[in-house]
Chain A
Amino acid sequence: MKRPAFLSSVPYLVLGLVFAWSFWHVASTRRAGNEPGKVTLRIGHWLLHAGMRESFDLAIADYQKLHPDVSIEQIPVPIRAYSMWLRTRLVGETAPDITGLSAVGEETAGRYYLPLDAYLSQPNPYNAGTPLEGVPWRDTFVDGLDSVRQLLGPISGELYGVNLQINTLRLFYNRNLLRAVTGSDTPPATFAQLRALGDQIAAYNVRTGARLVPIASCGPYSRYLFNTLVPSQTQRFAVNSSPSLNLNVSQQDMATAFLRGEWSYATPAFRSGLELMREVTALMPPGFSQLERDDAIFAYLQQQAVMFCAGSWDYGVLVRDGPFPTGITSLPLPDRQDPKYGSFVLGAISEAAGSPEAILGITRTSRHPEVALDFLHFLSSRRIATIFSRESHRIAAIVGTPAPPDAPELAPVLGGEVNGFAVDFFYLAGGNTSRAFQNNLHLALGPKGDLDAFIRAVETALPDTLRRDLGQMAIGQQREIRRLDAQLAFALTRPDPQPSEWSRLAEAQSIRQQERLPLVQEFFP
């Protein structure tokens, strides 16, 4: 039977209509973004945590009042999709004018973002009338933007973004539950007190039939916790044994010392760190490493846990959604008097600059970079930083900005000794050693955990994984060395050659060569 002719046209008609609709949609969006006489600025970020979008809205409204000819649109993107979203937008040259810089390396930053160095020595005009009036923009940030520079431009030395906030790790606690368990809402101040609190909670559970967990946790947050606790045990060791003589132990230094057999998990400071880690996991729910952030927050908000170890970025949601008062304290680390862990400790640790958060940069494809820069100035002014701090309950990166009124404890502790280093190789290129560490961790944890079994299992895998990771690191270093040859040549072939730029690049190349060549000579001859 022959079908009517019009039926065979239906798919094409549908396709044509869909195409026409999408064409109209794209065109109308572009038209809306290009109102005559009005500048439209877009800002894309992943900062969906409680209070952040609201803070951006307040700042945008304030800015638009000052500049009625500018319209600013906020594009919040969930963090899980952010990295892919950003990369697609950058490559497609459709990125917003300002974006958050998350999981962006130097190569991407250099290629897609405007360097901001030229503006850093000028004051931020929006600080007029405040104690920061006339202060160079750079110096209005608590660490002079050093950590962002180190993160995004370690070789070039360029600055591609500014951070609005800084993060700290804190122990949040349910005041009501703590009082019910201990009769007081005073949180533990040392690790010994935290351990004792764990015992008190266990006794409370037996007494009342409750099933309280001392600390709500999850895979990623437990790593933050371990990487603060364990370094308390390598603190003295780092200062006394730093192979680079700089009170620090780099991932490369640690990996090579392990491969040479100079250090191992039997090294007393390292073993003590692992023991400490094992002990703290007894305070967490079973299977914590399989849980996600939302699970941990849920457990705390549902009052199934007395405490929650998390970043300052999460305080906003605890305040907003918790039907109970939340207290904040620094993570209780072993002190020098601790009978078990004290001998490896130097003292309370410094959090001086915190870790940079909410890093924003201007994309090279921005059609209004001057307006974007002005808005960045505005966002990083003392007045707006204060609004962000108050609304988002986070710590501003701007000098002298008051801590959130309800959470002064979130502010970084400025005095203190340098912390030690973690022993899980989390930041070693390649990730093979870190995976071996994580995959065997279950052997050490829990009531039946066996630290020796864990050490045996990890150290069996280490020679191979460390070699693979160091090989990966050497490849990365070589890529940078090669790229720097090209950059050096461009610096000397410019119509206006700049010897200082050449010297800076030559030095950057030498730094990489001095890192890579001894590594290759010793392990990959």
Chain B
Amino acid sequence: MTPSGLFLIPLILVPFVALPGLGASTLADPWVEARNLNFSAAAESLEHLHRATPDDARVTVALAAALLARQPRTEGNIIEARALLERAARLTNAAATPADADQRILAAYLVARIDHDHFETPRLDSARSGYESLRLAHPGHPLADQAALQLGYILAYQTPGLAAPDAVAPLEALLASVQSANARRELHLLLARLHVRTLRNDAAALPHFQAARGLCSLANNRDSELDLMIGTLAARLGQGSLAARHYLAFADANPQEVRAQTARRLAAEALASAAPAPP
């Protein structure tokens, strides 16, 4: 190096001297990072935790979840996540608590979800078998109910050769078998959609919409949207007072919404149509 090239040395060194904090890495709380959708940071922390406690099912499941969502998304991460989950689902511990059991069920559920939705080519047979095993092994568990819902989606939309009318009975059987509000509501909506959009059977759809509305939703405004759907279907079916009740429920809950006045007008029209004709 020429003597003048020595000028470069401080230029290279200064950033490291001036910004010592850059080199240090502190591990963040992975659950906080995941809540902030920073799955890469969550995975980094969880890898440390997992190395320290490889038999902790909770940490293993969380690490697998982070691998599923970290960017860039790679097949390798998904395969690794699946392997971790399979191992977590099999973990047995002499001092296992109900919470540990829940983690194993969650791990089994996620294995089926990976087969269902995370590979570029879905492994539907494997997913179906995973969901069914979960339902058999843990009937009544909320995740087993969620597995039933996923089976419902496979039946309705991902089973080649199964005609829509033939999907109704098995879907209703799934609905009858679940207890969790989420699975019940979504299965009702799946059936309602099938009846309205595919089978064009408004009368069969209406009770499913009503049942779903009865199982209050947590999503923003979804109950109000259901009110409009019930109002519209009921009006089509000539059930004026039912239509009016739901149109008004929408308008009352959303007085500032752009559809509020239209909903009030439709309610008035539905009521008028329901009123007995003057003698």
Q: A352, B228: Cβ atoms under 8 Å? A: no
Q: When A489-B65, A493-B106, A518-B197 are in contact, do A111 and B182 touch as well, CB less than 8 Å?
A: no
Interface string of B2-45 (1 = CB under 8 A from A): 11110110110010001000000000000100111111001000
Tell me if A510 is interfacial: C-beta within 8 Å of chain B: yes
B39 near A419 with CB under 8 A, answer no
Q: Given A482-B68, A485-B118, A521-B158, is A146 in contact with B220 using a C-beta cutoff of 8 Å?
A: yes
- A489 to B81 CA separation, bound complex (whole angstroms): 12
Q: Is the CB of B262 within 8 A of A346?
A: yes
Residue of B nearest to A489 (CB): B65
Shortest A499–chain B CB gap in Å is 8
Q: Least Cβ distance of A139 to chain B in Å?
A: 11
Q: Which residues of B contact A5 (CB under 8 A)?
A: 4
Name the B residues within 8 Å of A243 (CB-CB). Answer: 197
Q: Which of A295-332 contact B (CB under 8 A)?
A: none
Residues of A within 8 A of B149 (CB): 510
Which of the four size classes fits the interface of chain A?
A: 35 or more
A229 → chain B closest CB, angstroms: 17
Q: For window 419-461 of chain A, which residues contact chain B by CB distance below 8 Å?
A: 419
Report whether A12 and B182 are in contact in the complex, using a CB–CB cutoff of 8 Å: no
B residues less than 8 Å from A248 (CB atoms): 259
Interface of B is mostly: helix
- Tell whether, in the assembled complex, residue B256 and residue A353 are in contact, meaning their CB atoms are under 8 Å apart: yes
CB-based contact B110/A110 at 8 Å? no
Instruction: Report the bound CA distance from A500 to B66 in whole Å.
Output: 21
Q: Output the least CB separation between B84 and chain A (Å).
A: 11
- A416 lies within 8 A of chain B by Cβ: yes
Chain A interface mostly: helix
Contact between chains at A12 and B8 (CB < 8 Å)? yes
Query: Does B210 touch A at the CB level, under 8 Å?
Result: no
Q: Give A483 to B34 CA distance when docked, in angstroms.
A: 10
CB distance from A481 to the nearest CB of B (A): 6
Residue in A244, A414, A513 whose beta carbon sits within 8 Å of that of B229 in the complex: A244
Write the chain A residue with the least CB distance to B143.
Answer: A492
Q: Which of A23, A351, A478 contacts B258 (CB 8 A)?
A: A351
A143 touches B258 (CB 8 A): no
Q: Is A142 an interface residue (CB 8 A)?
A: yes
Q: Within the assembled complex, what's the spacing in Å between the Cα atoms of A271 and B224?
A: 32
Contact of A490 with B232 in the complex, beta carbons under 8 Å: no
Q: Does A181 contact B (CB under 8 A)?
A: no
Residue of A nearest to B233 (CB): A245
Distance, CA A8 to CA B158, complexed state (A): 72
Given A12-B7, A503-B182: A143 in contact with B256 (beta carbons within 8 A):
yes
Tell me if B257 counts as interface (CB < 8 A to partner A): yes
Could you list 11 A-B pairs, sorted by A, with CB under 8 Å? A12-B8, A146-B220, A157-B220, A239-B266, A243-B197, A245-B228, A247-B259, A481-B117, A485-B65, A485-B68, A521-B157
Given contacts A246-B229, A350-B259, A525-B160, 7 further A-B contacts (CB under 8 A): A12-B4, A486-B34, A486-B69, A489-B61, A503-B182, A507-B217, A507-B219
Chain A contact residues, CB within 8 Å of chain B: 5, 8-9, 12-13, 15-16, 19, 23, 107, 110-111, 142-144, 146, 149-150, 154, 157, 239, 242-248, 346, 349-353, 364, 414-419, 478, 481-483, 485-487, 489-490, 492-495, 499-500, 503-504, 506-508, 510-511, 513-514, 517-518, 520-521, 525
> Which B residues are closer than 8 A to A by beta carbons?
2-5, 7-8, 10-11, 14, 18, 31, 34-39, 42, 58-59, 61-62, 64-66, 68-69, 102-103, 106, 110, 113-114, 117-118, 142, 146, 149, 153, 156-158, 160, 181-182, 185-186, 189-190, 193, 196-197, 217-222, 225, 228-229, 232-233, 256-263, 265-266
